[in-house]
Structure 1
Amino acid sequence: MPRAHKHRRKVPVTAPTAPSDHTPHPSGSSNRPQATRTTIRRFHVLIKRQAQLQQIIQGGKKDAQSATAELARVEQEMEDLGGLAAYQRMSTIGQGKDRGGGSEKVLISWLREMDLHQSVKKAEQRLRLLEVGALKPDNYASCQSWVDVTPIDLHAQHPDILEQDFLLMDPDGHREKWDVISLSLVLNFPPNPKDRGQMLRLAHTMLRPDGLLFIALPLPCILNSRYMTPEHFDGLMQSIGFEQVHTRWKEGGKMAYWLYRRKPQPASTTYHDHLLYEKKTVFRQGNRNNFVILL
């Protein structure tokens, strides 16, 4: 959330088209929904280019000198936009009730539909929930009687949020420890598609048998990507060992949500299936984004 991303903030990596260079500065009017979305999209463009340039520099290629100069310009623009703190501020605003609240409302509603709040109370043992990429420590305060949440984030903005890189968590120390893991606007953060796949594999390891994985992504990740479709995403999840329980999105909406149940990892797939989720496959042509998850 390569490890170069450890010091980056959670920023969406999908935008149907590249935003204008005339992005409004986050001060002043950044709490307007459109200005906020525009700035976040610009951060996406910059963070992706930053990762590409860092790879060129680290590889010692012949154009490393020009890449170094461009990297300085990219990082300066990120600072001009307000830096990572500006993104955190805008993301927190986006979770406010005046913007429809955070995605945790969807997860809570699904858990209640499954009567987990009742069964947990009878068992007198709260659900252990790992909230990855938490911007606020109290997202699940309304259900604290039956949910024991551990919020983590790369750059925690509250003392009750543990500063932790999910990808660096010890899989053995957390093996089958969690009842629920929430990856809300997390999979679209790492620039490296294989890191996204590793997140899903790690979640499978850390969830108890029949544990639940909640995923929230910008809708363009699956409906406007040249490499991803809802069917391809579900097939990828099945190949890891997840069974879809719920999904929700609407045409023209901004977000998509899924709830998956952990199952035993499936038997080894065929060579064709193996390549299907390790390599990019073009499903759509035209003006699309490049979001993809690779195993």
Structure 2
Amino acid sequence: MAPKSRSKRPSLLSKGRPPTVKPKQAALSSKATRTLIRSHHQLLKARAQAEKAGDAAKLSSIDAQIQANGGLDSYQIASKLGQSMDRGGDSSKLLIEWIKPQLNQWNPNLPKLRVLEVGALSTKNACSRTPSLDVTRIDLNSQEPGILQQDFMERPLPCSDEERFHIISLSLVLNYVPDATGRGDMLKRCVKFLTSQCPIAFVPTLFFVLPVACVDNSRYVTEERLLDILSSLGFELVQSKRSNKLIYQLWHYTGQCSPRSFKKEMLNPGAKRNNFAIILRDG
């Protein structure tokens, strides 16, 4: 008796395909990344206080701790991981989403809009891939070609509109400045780098990203106080978005400023609140 022929089961598609490439594991976990960034910010704050007090011994000790943590290089690696695609992605994608209706006016026969990206970590983010934008990237410690190693506060002031920008991006930059007065000075300095002379209908723009704790859990800054500070400099809030950890804002520079000073004053008392502050000086 002839043996019964068994019908073959169809092969699974997975049998004929190469193994799935597993994504590379990040060198640091999300928790370790946040811890390193937080530690670096705290050490910088302590360093600024020691420098102000003229405490050379403490200054030397803090510098040693910063180096033991890997210095600025380690901080930037952690920041890159924090902004990588598998950790929530590139914040400039939201900037492009917000300004896309205006950018749709642009065509290749027109000059590109100029962007100054302060604290740039990558030359491959959404801004850099947008054909209508010419991006100038600067950072205190450049991590790759295409990013100029420069302190924004020491960048020469523009002498003409051609040296100014249509967009300035401060994504997780202001919170890196170690003292409250320096933060106010940085915001004031942005005004000097913006221009309204544009090849399309476009209002000078500031893109701004901060940890949400800077406005929700600070003794000295609230979202309302931030609005008052930037409004006094001539900015108008046009877009705002929150995630669990970050606040994103888009500001138009209208030039309708009402200069005033903002001191470090208690707005939200509480033992568990942080000391993030912005001081805006006259002049």
Same fold (TM over 0.5): yes
Q: Distance in 2 between matches of 1:267 and 1:219?
A: 26
The C-alpha deviation readout for 1:246-266, integer Å capped at 9, x for no partner, is 01114xx10001100011142
Bigger proportion of residues as helix: 1
User: Does structure 2 retain, via aligned residues, the 8 Å contact 1:211–1:261?
Assistant: yes
The answer to whether residue 93 in structure 2 is matched with residue 105 in structure 1 is: yes
Under a length normalisation based on structure 1, what TM-score does the superposition of the two structures give? 0.79
The answer to whether residue 76 in structure 2 is matched with residue 88 in structure 1 is: yes
**Alignment length (residue pairs):** 248
Counterpart of 1:196?
Answer: 183
The C-alpha deviation readout for 1:120-144, integer Å capped at 9, x for no partner, is 2276222211100001122136643
Structure 1 residue 199: Cα displacement: 1.3
SS of the residue corresponding to residue 198 of structure 1 reads: helix
Q: Distance in 2 between matches of 1:106 and 1:29?
A: 24
Change in 2 beyond 3 A, CA 1:170/1:289: same
Counterpart of 2:217?
Answer: 224
The C-alpha deviation readout for 1:223-256, integer Å capped at 9, x for no partner, is 0000011111001110000011101114xx1000
Counterpart of 1:61?
Answer: none
CA RMSD of aligned residues (A): 2.0
The C-alpha deviation readout for 1:116-168, integer Å capped at 9, x for no partner, is 22112276222211100001122136643111111111111112111111111
Counterpart of 1:64?
Answer: none
Structure 1 residue 85: Cα displacement: 1.1
User: Does structure 2 retain, via aligned residues, the 8 Å contact 1:126–1:146?
Assistant: yes
Partner residue of 2:164 out of 150, 156, 177: 177
Under a length normalisation based on structure 2, what TM-score does the superposition of the two structures give? 0.82
Larger RCO of the pair (alpha carbons < 8 Å, separation 6+): 1
The C-alpha deviation readout for 1:160-189, integer Å capped at 9, x for no partner, is 111111111222436572110000111111
Note the residue ranges of structure 2 that are not aligned, 5 or more in a row.
1-24, 197-202
Change in 2 beyond 3 A, CA 1:84/1:143: closer
Q: Distance in 2 between matches of 1:177 and 1:204?
A: 10
User: Does structure 1 retain, via aligned residues, the 8 Å contact 2:84–2:90?
Assistant: yes
Partner residue of 1:154 out of 140, 145, 155: 140
Change in 2 beyond 3 A, CA 1:239/1:142: closer
